[in-house]
Structure 1
Amino acid sequence: MSASLYNIGLTGLNAAQAGLLTTSHNISNAGTTGYSRQSVVQSTNPALFTGAGFFGEGTKVDTVKRAYNGFLTNQVLAAETKFTEYDTYDTEISQIDNMLADSTVGLTPALASFFGGVQEVAANPSSIPARQSMISTAQSLVARFQNLSERLNDVRSGVESQIKETVSAIGTYAKEIAEMNHKIAVAQQAGSAQPANDLLDTRDQLIKELNQLTRVSTATGSDGSLSVFIGTGQPLVVGTVATTLDAQPSSSDPHRFNVNIITTSGNAITIPESLLGGGKLGGLLAMRSGSLDAAQNQLGLVAIGISTTFNAQHQLGQDLNGNLGTNFFTPPAVSVERFATASTTSPDVQFADISKLTGDDYKLTFTDTTGGYSLTRVSDGASVTAASVGLTITPAATSMVGDSFMILPTRNAAANIGVSISDTRMVAAAAPITSAATSSNRGTGSITAPVVGSTADLASFGTSASPLKLTYSAGNLSGFPASLPVTYTPLGGSPVTLAAPVASIPYSSGMSISVGGVSFSMTGAIQDEDTFTVGPNSQGVSDSRNAVLMGNLQTTKVLLSAGGQPSATFQSVYSQLVSAVGNKAREVSVNRDAQESLVEQATNAQQSVAGVNLDEEAANLIRYQQAYQAAGKVMSIASKLFDQVLALGQ
């Protein structure tokens, strides 16, 4: 019995020693990131049966178990990956929000200053300083567009760089997790399937850090290995094999990185952005497509709106040299990027109706050899027609079936707008057509200043020919050009259009008349033989009619067609952009703060199970120390009893 007593004491000593070692390990790693508290699991040895009953044979250590709760751990992972996504989005969009809304570097003050310069010319059309001020404020406006575009491009460069770095880091984590799977399998196989707790903690910490880069899900294999999936189920690690990820420039936009899976044969398969939510990568991708693209496109839309409409009106004016106006701004072109093409040429894409532009991007794919194509909106995959989105598309002669192009109507417009005029005399403030009642008229009839609808109308009417002379006789007006149609509208009546040649039309006070697109109104009582002239403006130095019309563009709705009519001014489109970015920034910030609270709650719950409590461990030290001492006492008594038995035989 004494030998059995010794063995029982020895088992207790070993168990207490295991408890001391484990407790000391817990205390030493209390500050180790990712460490899970460990505890010794004991059970009794099988009892010894005798005629007097079953006698205990002491204890044994079954295993060292780590305090791990899969449900709580997954809650932490879910909260953290969403928090990191919002945090990344918040950091990046704050740069855009602060920039666009800034009263000194934003577009609003530059727009106001430019149109103030236009109004100054309208008030003093012959003033060279006023004209110079208009050109200078236009140059400042263009510089503001270009500066905002450059800063947005800087944000884009930073985002793209971070995407590449993040994808590289994800690949590194994948390799480390695959290696850790191998180490765990080897360790547990060598240890009779006992859990390799510290290695498991290390792997869990790698998963946690990877999850902060992109959302992950896991599945445990029969050998203890952990398969890792990203996005919506794309395998990243399967057992000891890690998938190779790479960020490569998009074929449609070399400045934009796609996330690709590299197959064993070396082929790259692009993972759609919509499948890569969560974590830093998800935040970067969401911010790029959801806010950055929209900001650049909307800013470009304003640049296109100003340059196109202002140029169109400026071309309807007359400068101090007596010439018709030219482009005041350098008009931005539609950006077309080639990808997946067999030919080396690109289609010609032009703006047709800027009021139908929306700030969207499109994918163009040729479907037959006669120039047939499909046009798809990138944001939602909807099929559209070129006309419905304000574009005209002319295929290149060498276009081939399957050729695809990315059309970015407004993306680069803010960077490419410029001022085309530097000579103050070339500001077309005057109207090229004027009208007058002949001084010898006997009646009280008057005629308004003509309004020209387009450069085509101006060309058809002519600006160098002799003035049109309208003569009143017996209730009718005559003298219209033989080559031009005439439309007249009695006051309160409906338009009447007459094809050329038009001999005469009936006169009524308050009527409006359009001759080849040049419109004017006539009022008053006209006497027979009274005449009125409509013709080229030879006294345009003090004429500001076109400058007034250019100034009116500030408050004219020319963009974002709704119900077939433009619904927004330049300023309102920019204000919508500032508001949208600001609202998104606030939304992301609120979500970030809420998610941070969820992370804290989930972490506290998880740490209440897995964390090391030093007070508890100190108590365990005392408990195991006492158990160790007691077991040693048992062994000491067993030894003394054995010595006494030996002494009896002497």
Structure 2
Amino acid sequence: MSLINIGMSGLNASQFALNTTGNNISNSGTAGYNRQIVDYTQADSQFAGVGYVGQGVLVSDVSRVYDQFLSNQVNQAQTQYSQLNTYYQQISQVNNALGSSTTGLSASMSTFFTNLQTIVTAPNNSATRATVISSAQTLTSMFQSLSGTLSSLRASVNGNITQATTQINTYAKQIASLNDAILQAQGNGTHTMPNDLLDQRDQAVASLNAIVQTNVVKDTNGSYNVFVGNGQSLVSGNSAYQMTTVPSTSDPSQMTVAYVTGNGTKVAIPESSITGGSLAGLLSFRSGALTQAQNSLGQIAMSLAGTFNAQNQLGMDLYGQMGGNFFTVPNPTIIANTGNSNAATLNASITDASKVTASDYSVSFDGTTYTLTRQTDGAKWTAGAPATPSTPLNFQDAGGAAFGDGFSVTTSGMVAGDSFAIQPTRNAAQNIGVAITDPGKIALAAPILASTPSTNSGSLKVDQGSVDASYLSNVLSAPVNFTFSKDAVTGALTLVAPSPMTVTANGVTTSYAAGATVPYNAATGAKITMSGMTVNLSGTPSNGDTFTISPNTSGAVTDNRNGLALSALQNDTTKVGGTQSYATAYASLVSFVGSTTNTYKSTSAAQQTLLQQTQTAQQSNSGVNLDEEAANLIKYQQLYQANSKVIQTASTLFSTILQIVN
């Protein structure tokens, strides 16, 4: 080969290098671009008698600088960051809705009980009674507003999940198309790699990992096979499969992710198998913080309505009538599995609002046994067939203890395999309301009044008495009189039980039948309970002294005993889940949301830092360094000039030879 050809080979090589460097500089801001370098190989030497003489340089390839390990690290960090950041962005909205201490539910609840305490001091003041109704309406409106915000957020999550599956399908088709294009480009006989297509495919995989974590397996022919979930194939060679959303079989209002098989069948993917990416963040937020926030808010609403109503029913209103419901009590939400038989029905009713938990439940039937499962901890209770469809199922745990979470279940028509979801509190905050508009129907008075006549000669004292829920089934219609007698021999004080009752003295409770002689110890006093009424006795009665329990016919206007009991509900620590007051339960909810928000904020920030570190490591290897490329431009320019000089030298030598010949 002549010196000119050697120079030309160097000239071509430097031209390739200049073009490649220019391409690197031009794409320095292109997402997913990996810098490229020119690969050189020495041309075969030629034997010249005394040895082998070099024949120049050949350009063997233009390859991209790519590290699969670093790329995988970036994708893994990206998918984790997307999940954490999506969860954080979603729960921040819940935190903003619940967190206000001045305009939120806490302030409305405080105002309601403050107004209630005001009317207790003046039970017959209709104006102050009206403020209680007004503040109760404000309180229920706040419950409804917060519940509406959370419900809207749940609907938004459903939409975002659907949008995420659409994006997944788009990237899957793009990867499959790029697989095909890469194979065709490699099939042109040159065996060179189409760097631009490879970059596009890797960028599509990275974008896909931001939505859902994938497992990429590289085929022997260079194609990417992409898998998600439990190994569902999303891309296989040049074929792309689809994901979609379908209504959950256990809750049709909730969209769940499904895989579309080759024959078009949609198979739901368990949420637990979808890890990483914004899709996993949405699913875990919906089943975690959002559900707990909705259920806990509903639990407070349910407990407030139920326990306040129960106490109001034990009082007497301004018209001398027994109190009714002050709030409308929401019913549990029942959701039938979409695969149930047509005849299957199930109903649930609240039996004790103070014991209702913030959990969801499921009821299943295997043909013989009904199983009730609490979703938060997996606790189970079982029951046999009920005597009648209207008879509540007698659920018991493995130790024989009765189910005690504040609601009962009736069912009919269930066959083996049927199941229902029970959400006792999910929609309770949305459905709470004020049941009365007449301020006079607030039951501030107690329905009974215990008293002693002025003719008694002893020191007997009785309180005014109180009632419990069992009183409602046997409301007192006439006075009940009690007379003390002194035994002539022993001097013991006794009275005759007018009806079955219990007496508690010195911590010991004894039951007596109607007409039985009941001893009385003046040193300890006694608590008498009869037909849902309780009266406390103290002092020493004389022989023949009496006391009476009467309907409170004259105290409707001035009596405030039930009003005091209603007011005391505010600080009763047994009214929400049996362990908290209304205010502390709401504070716990706000604290949970706030702490969870802060946790995801910090973990998201930490993961973002890790992502940036892995991206920096990848870019230091595969990214375009403009300073380095500028230096390469100078180097390859000089290389180009040097090879031009070789050609010029060869031309000069050739001209000299021609002159000698001439």
Normalised to the residue count of structure 2, the TM-score between the two structures is: 0.92
Instruction: Deviation per CA, 1:238-291: give whole Å up to 9, x if none.
Output: 221212111222233233210110112222111122222222112211221211
2:595 match: 583
1:412 correspondence with 2:427? yes
1:480 match: 497
Please tell me the residue identity of whatever aligns with 1:244: Q
1:374 correspondence with 2:386? no
1:624 match: 636
1:446 match: 461
2:386 match: none
Q: What are the residue-to-residue correspondences of 1:334-373 with 2, within 5 Å?
A: 334-339=332-337, 340-368=339-367, 372-373=369-370
Contact persistence 1:139–1:418 (CA under 8 A)? yes
1:20 match: 18
Distance 2:189 2:623 in 1: 25
Instruction: Deviation per CA, 1:551-596: give whole Å up to 9, x if none.
Output: 11111122465xxxx2211111111100000000011111121122
Deviation of the 1:117 alpha carbon = 2.0
Distance 2:404 2:67 in 1: 56
Distance 1:222 1:380 in 2: 47
Select 1:383's aligned residue among 359, 380, 396: 380
Q: What are the residue-to-residue correspondences of 1:205-224 with 2, within 5 Å?
A: 205-224=203-222
Change (3 A) 1:388 1:424: closer
1:84 match: 82
2:563 match: 547
1:495 correspondence with 2:509? yes
Q: What are the residue-to-residue correspondences of 1:108-119 with 2, within 5 Å?
A: 108-119=106-117
Select 2:483's aligned residue among 455, 471, 479: 471
Query: What SS class does the counterpart of residue 330 from structure 2 fall into?
Result: coil
Distance 1:356 1:283 in 2: 32
2:120 match: 122
Percent identity, aligned pairs only, is: 41
Query: What SS class does the counterpart of residue 62 from structure 2 fall into?
Result: strand
Select 1:600's aligned residue among 612, 635, 640: 612
2:623 match: 611
Contact persistence 1:357–1:559 (CA under 8 A)? no
Deviation of the 1:44 alpha carbon = 0.9
Q: What are the residue-to-residue correspondences of 1:201-600 with 2, within 5 Å?
A: 201-231=199-229, 233-339=231-337, 340-368=339-367, 372-379=369-376, 381-384=378-381, 387-396=403-412, 398-454=413-469, 456-460=470-474, 462-464=475-477, 466-474=478-486, 475-481=492-498, 484-490=499-505, 492-498=506-512, 500-509=513-522, 510-539=525-554, 540-559=556-575, 566-600=578-612
Q: How many residues align?
A: 634
Instruction: Deviation per CA, 1:537-564: give whole Å up to 9, x if none.
Output: 1012111111111111111122465xxx
Give the root-mean-square deviation of aligned CA atoms.
Answer: 2.0
Distance 2:85 2:267 in 1: 28
Deviation of the 1:447 alpha carbon = 1.0
2:178 match: 180
Distance 2:119 2:416 in 1: 53
Contact persistence 1:81–1:279 (CA under 8 A)? yes
Distance 1:105 1:178 in 2: 53
Deviation of the 1:191 alpha carbon = 4.9
Instruction: Deviation per CA, 1:427-475: give whole Å up to 9, x if none.
Output: 1111111111012111111111222121x33323x322x2000001114
Contact persistence 2:232–2:259 (CA under 8 A)? no
Structure 1 stretch displaced more, 299-308 or 639-648: 639-648
Distance 1:459 1:364 in 2: 32
Distance 2:19 2:220 in 1: 29
Contact persistence 2:493–2:520 (CA under 8 A)? yes
Which 5+ residue runs of structure 1 have no aligned equivalent? none
Instruction: Deviation per CA, 1:618-650: give whole Å up to 9, x if none.
Output: 221222222223323333444555566677777
Please tell me the residue identity of whatever aligns with 2:560: S
Please tell me the residue identity of whatever aligns with 2:511: T
Change (3 A) 1:332 1:647: same
Please tell me the residue identity of whatever aligns with 2:373: T
Contact persistence 1:362–1:408 (CA under 8 A)? yes
Please tell me the residue identity of whatever aligns with 2:35: R
Select 1:98's aligned residue among 85, 96, 109: 96
